[in-house]
Amino acid sequence: MSEIFKGNFTQQEPIPEDAIEAAMSVLKSGRLHRYNVAEGELSQAALLEQEFAAAMGAKFALAVSSGGYAIATALRAVGVQPGDRVLTNAFTLAPVPGAIASLGAEPVFVEVTEALTIDLEDLAAKISQDADIKVLLLSHMRGHICDMDRLMQICDAAGVIVVEDCAHTMGARWDGTLSGRHGAMAAYSTQTYKHLNSGEGGVLISDDPDLMARAIMLSGSYMLYERHLAGPPADAFEKVKYVTPNISGRMDNLRAAILRPQLAQLDGQCAAWNARYAEVERGLENTPGLTVITRPDAEAYVMSSFQFLLLDWSDADVNKVLARCGARGVELKWFGGAEPTGFTSRYDSWRYADTPDMPKTNRILRGVLDLRLPLTFSVEDCAQIARIIRDEVSMVYQAAE
């Protein structure tokens, strides 16, 4: 009889006990707002910012209400205006182009490679074709990191500011440098399915005092910016404090309290995710018709999900794989579907943006299958998942030959 996987792909680990205790302390105090502190008290949000900045090797950090808010705030801080054209990956999730559009700016999509990273040749071409483009919102989609040295060479030479979306790469590195440390600003998410879990939330980092001063004012600091332990000095606020709109999006002390103990355990959690990723990778290598994503030596990834390609398969056969794996308990998401499904959508789903046909990207997206790897799965669970996928992909591939 064919084995059936019994795990739940959306079940996360419990919140750690020390995080629960910290949250209960905040609840008992009643002081949930980040600026509502007792005399001599440091807020949980300010402490999280200080600890997150240290963990990421950044000078400044700002805790906010979501990863999407962090991205939009970074774009505002670097000067994106209504009508501006902002480059971003064609392979990403809806909050990325959504953040651009929320400012009245226009997403300009860049092709994707078979490594599921931004196509640097297409990026260079689009920059050279439009001298007015001055910002790239780079999404490290699903934890895949491009050649960051080359990307920065391209952008620096053209005066293009890079904002990094690190929702899927917290703790990852390119050639030893932490993800988020190449661009002018970087945004992280603490939504339930990310590396730290507060249900919803985000953090923004930068080494630039002027950019971070604007971001703090945008978040709604009510002239209480001196309470930010990971903020720039007071003089950085002088030019911006009266001319920057309050677009409230602060993180509260409750979520910060939940996150701080998790942040302290980030390295161990990342190693656990990578062990699960490696087990699935081993199980799927050399499967006929299936392409495992090649990871460059310079990339030290953190993978809480797994992607593989069924390149040039018919839609009908991909759907057979989805159905057959689903019948055996393995929940796969497909980025090639014509309509958005759950969290999965593609660049031509976002009809508020100009979406010219992108044949290269279309071919790759039609082949991308994706599955979550929550830490509630054991390494043995991941080996079973890989066996099931391998069986079903092989069955459909052989039938189509």
Structural domains of the chain ordered from first start: 17-264 (3.40.640.10), 266-400 (3.90.1150.10)
Q: How many residues does the chain have?
A: 401
- Tens digits of per-residue pLDDT, 124-138? 999 999 999 999 999
- Tens digits of per-residue pLDDT, 303-338? 999 999 999 999 999 999 999 999 999 999 999 887
Give the Cβ contact number of residue 390 at 10 Å: 18
Element (H, E) at 372: strand 368-372
Q: What is the pLDDT of residue 173?
A: 98
> Which of 373, 368, 376 minimizes the C-alpha distance to 330?
373
Computed over every residue of the chain, the mean pLDDT equals 96
- Parallel, antiparallel, or unpaired for β 305-309 and 291-292? antiparallel
51 confidence band (pLDDT: 50, 70, 90): very high
3-class DSSP state of 114: coil
Q: What's the pTM?
A: 0.96
Question: How distant, in Å, are the alpha carbons of 13, 123, 188 from that of 255?
Answer: 16, 37, 14
Q: From CA 285, how far away is CA 292, in angstroms rounded?
A: 6
Amino acid at 154: I
State CA 101 to chain mean position distance.
Answer: 18
Cβ contact 64:77 at 8 Å: no
Cβ contact 37:26 at 8 Å: no
Query: What percentage of the chain reaches a pLDDT higher than 70?
Result: 100
